[in-house]
Amino acid sequence: MSRLFQGVLIVALMCTGTTSALAGSARRVSFPFPGVLNGKSIPMGHYAVRWESHSPTATVTLLGKKAILATASANWEERGGKFSRNAVVYDTQADGTRVILEIRLAGLSQALVFTA
């Protein structure tokens, strides 16, 4: 499948609000706490996380049931071993706000680490 076709397919699926996973570029991830990603508040819940890789960077989109919740730039960073499950890494600020730092995906040894 050509890159152009894949890009068009991803955009088309995002516009319809569907959360079905495309092989290799989307996963369902549970966010156990509310947090902030790229200035947007993200409630705790289950979301589709999609990415478009630009090696070594990526554009990550977080989708709720019917809408895009946030889009952010990230870097793929090696973490030394494959993750056994999907996970979200937070940093808790002085005011208690949790900022989403990275998303770790099952079966991969790299994490999507969000840039400021």
pLDDT in tens, the chain (116 residues): 444 444 333 333 333 333 333 445 999 999 999 999 999 999 999 999 999 998 899 999 999 998 999 999 999 999 999 999 999 999 999 999 999 999 999 999 999 999 86
Structure tokens at 104: 């770790």
Range of the domain at 99: 3-114
Q: Say how many domains are in the chain.
A: 1
Kindly report the pTM of this predicted structure: 0.76
Return the bridge partners of 64, or none: none
Question: Reduced to 3 states, what is the DSSP secondary structure of residue 35?
Answer: strand
* Site of tokens 């630009």: 54
Question: In whole angstroms, what is the distance from residue 112 CA to residue 96 CA?
Answer: 23
Question: Reduced to 3 states, what is the DSSP secondary structure of residue 53?
Answer: strand
